[in-house]
Amino acid sequence: MNLIILAAGTGTRLFPLTKDTPKSLLDLGDGTTLLERQIKNAVVCKSIKKVYVVTGYRSIQIEERIEQFSSEIPVEIVFNPFYDISNNLLSLWCVNYIMEDRDFVITNGDNIYKTGIYDHISQGSDPTTQITIDRKSSYDDDDMKVLIEEGHVKRISKEIPLDEAQAESVGLVVVRGEKMRTQFRKKLLSMAQDMDNRNRFWLEIFNSMIAEGKDIDVCEISPDDWREIDFHPDVEAVKKAVFKKIF
């Protein structure tokens, strides 16, 4: 199984912290970074054999930083030349070629997880296209909200009304099995060819698949199992969690 880390974005909502540093390389208070934490989690995951990091903004910094992991797990950098004029759907398109031959996990590059999450979500051998969710007492406008029906995803969008949301997408996906890989890649290629999709989130792939009658499974984790860095308060919250050794 491969791990795909989407880390091309400019992180403008974190300026000036990200003015000269990509979000995935922000110091978490102990000298480590989001990217390093994700790769270290991949190293201890039994099923992940290689990591692909899709870069864009300040790519050279990322390339230099991850050289230290080359002896622990193969890591390949894939540069997205469209990072500053598109959203992460095109970042995922940049690595579509690796989806044919091996199952894969996709994660947003601005997430941090507890050790063992990759093993947890990739358990089993049955073919699946599976998004990771958590459930909270309330949701906000920026959450990637999820509707679930009979154990499958019905819709995933930030536009879902707050009082209708049943879960939040973590931004962590497993695609396992040749048929599932083929379906996912076919849909990704189709959407990437339409310029109207240039600024769409990669998770929109699932809404399109659902519209065609495909089942999207869910795997639930606790809100305490992960954090996302998107706004300035998130940085301090993650630093505190790292200091307390929650992550």
Domain tally, the chain: 1
Exposed e or buried b for every residue in 181-210, given b needs 16+ CB within 10 A?
bebbbebbeebbeeeebeebbbbbbbbebb
97-152 pLDDT, tens digit per residue, is: 999 999 999 999 999 999 999 999 999 999 999 999 999 999 999 999 999 999 99
> pLDDT-based confidence at 2, cuts 50/70/90?
very high
* Per-residue pLDDT at 62 exceeds 80: yes
8-59 pLDDT, tens digit per residue, is: 999 999 999 999 999 999 999 999 999 999 999 999 999 999 999 999 999 9
Residue 207, by phi and psi: left (phi above 0), alpha (psi -120 to 50) or beta?
alpha
For residue 43, the enclosing domain spans 2-243
> pLDDT-based confidence at 209, cuts 50/70/90?
very high
* Per-residue pLDDT at 70 exceeds 80: no
Tokens of 72: 């622990």
Decide: 84 and 57 in contact? Cβ < 8 Å: yes
CATH code, domain carrying 219: 3.90.550.10
The pLDDT of residue 67 is 83
The pLDDT of residue 71 is 83
Q: What is the mean pLDDT of residues 213-227?
A: 97
